[in-house]
Structure 1
Amino acid sequence: MVTVLGDETTEAPAPEPKLWKSSSDIRLSGPEPKKFPEYVLASTYGEQTEVFKPSKGARPLPNWVKEMLLHPPISIPETPTNSQNLVELLCHVDSMYVRVRRELFKSLDAFRYLKLGTCPVNHENKGHYYLLYPLKKDCGFKKQSNPHFLVITIGLHFKPTSPVLREMPFDITLQCKFPRLFHSYKVGYFPIVKGGTVFIALQPRRHFTLTQQHASGKDITGTKTYTLGEPMYFKARGPDGAAVSRKRLYISKCFMTASQDLNSHPKYTIIDNQGCMIDSKVMPLSKFVPGTSKTVQTFCVGALLFQDKVSNTSTQLLYMHCDISLGPQTPTPSSKACNYDPTTKKWKEVYGSDSVCSCCESTCPSAAESKGSKSIISSPSWEVDVSDAMDMWKSTLQMKSSNTQTSDRVAKRFLNDWPT
């Protein structure tokens, strides 16, 4: 407990975590406990401190260590209680307790103007006003850190706002000082290490990946640069295991963004409607690719650019985000992998019956998902070369500008020659 009102600030040993109690309130049973030093600096013994280093097994302590640790009891004078202490402070490791004697004030509403920083009085009794607050409370606690101590300071303010004064205003700075180094020992304590083996899974049970691949099927490492329209291959993998091997991996939705944030805009949808490769109606190159394992799904997409992201930069960075889940090996309208065949103008399933793809032109039903069986996975980024596209557009514009008159004459003659 620290007295903060007076000529000097005196500090006693740190109290135990309990509220104020007088000696008459405490009843001890048994002999009076021995009192030992709070800590002993072993560094004063020079090279002999090697005995404190951890080692295998147990060993007896030298006599000089026993004498140092079992130091003769010392008398710690108790801080006398001064009944005239008007403001008192109690510091805990996570809170600050302040009490102010009521006799300091004459008016009954004085507590309204007494604050710890910005926090008001929150408890009172016949003798004191209390301000009891955790250090995390937004009262205005200020922290000052140094190598040996953490210091918490705050002001205790009494500022009446009434037109007349019956008590003088005051401001007192309160301070709690916490040591950073703590010393502890227990004579005769030897830790016992119990053996055993702990197995930790290297991967979570529900783990999906989405990677880029070469046409040969090998994974691409690093950031690859594609040209506009070049085929890009992606592979979605499910977790390994015997239980998973009896299931099939499905991709219900995939879309591209120009940002790693899957909620960013613009975005271009490749797969939608519970597994329909809708981009295959626009680009025949876009399709699901069958493989040897149904817990892996490969698909191909033609490289593209976002029009509003085209600028003077030579490349455009893109990302793929896919909604992946595990389901039964037999496809359903809710879980499937369907490509559009431009020749027959029909949808076809990669492994199962094409009838499950009939809803791709409308709205397919959603699957009844189990908790944790579905997640959105993002692929590493890739680049699309913008310079080739820019050069092609520039040359096209120049050609159109230079041949406008000739093209108009050819078009007029072609229309005149057209049979009626």
Structure 2
Amino acid sequence: MTMKWTAVSLVAVATLCHLCNAQYNKPVYNKPNAPQEPVMQYKEPVEGPLLWTYPEDPVDPPKPEAPFVPHSPVPAVTVAVACREMDARVEVKKDMFGTGQLIDAADLTLGSCAALGEDPAMQVVIFETDLHQCDSRLSMSADSLIYSFTLNYNPRAIGNTPVVRTSGAAVTVECHYPRNHNVSSLPLDPIWTPFAATKVSDELLYFDLVIMTDDWKFERPSYQYFLGDMVNIEATVKQYFHVPLRVFVDSCTATMVPDLNATPKYNFIENYGCMVDGLLTGSASKFLPRQKDNTLQFQLEAFRFQASTTGLLYITCNLKATSVAFGCNEWTEMSGDNGVCGSCGNAGGGGGGSWGPSNPMSKGRKTRMASEAQPEVVVWETTIALKPLEIFQRTA
């Protein structure tokens, strides 16, 4: 028992001593901080004047020049007129300015006359008027009576907007009529010479003879061929205000030099229009079916003269023209039966290119034919030479 109390007493004394040490510590002394030195501000010395300006505006780099060619507006062909004996018919495309913007027919007048109607399929506005109406004006030139009309276009604003897509325009439309007419009637057989037979003595017709391309659409720019090539030749008479005319090729001659009378020479069309080249040489030369009365086309197979060293061919043709209304058993047609007019085997025969009179006609600018059954008929004729053809030999 005594030992137990002794142990308890020792534990109590140790605990008390520990508590006394924990409650009493040596005080801590904080040394005051040393005073800090003040921060001094100072201005850096300027070595020179301060230069400052507002920044400049940015500059865009230069743009490259684009290849541009200004195009001027091309007048559109949108007005057509048919001048008839007593009246005129005017047709105007609704795309009047060729820009794709269709006009309103109500904005279009011919003088003081409104349009007769429209053709929706063709997109045209139609006017028809007597020659003395719709504010027409009559004037005269040396050989024509001229009736003039004014086609007015005054566009209105589109819908309820103040916008227009086209500008106003005034187009002059004219009808020209010859001042001189042959008013005689041939069946009456007047005792005076018809006007058509006397007026022509003061006139000249314009004939043309050209080389054409293979499709007959354009004049051929080159006159060079090879042996065996087909040379397309077209003869034309320009009518202007004449009655309809029909052209014929009376004869054609080829030479080595420009002189028509030189030798050697080769008449490949003769006997009033017979294509004898095919008969004499077996070539494919021929006349083509006539498409228009004032035009005649034929083909000549290219050849050279045996003695030629240059291959040049000079072709000279005699052309004739007469009224389409002239008809008798002496004329031949490209698509008709030529048997009644003889054959190309004799001097009086006709052919595809011309006609076969029983008596040769005299040379000159104009000639006349007369018979008991037919009135006097005038024939114009001329001689035309082509530019020289250059024919090359084919190489194997």
* TM-score in same-fold range (> 0.5): no
TM-score (norm 1): 0.37
TM-score (norm 2): 0.39
Q: Which structure's residues are more often helix, by fraction? A: 1
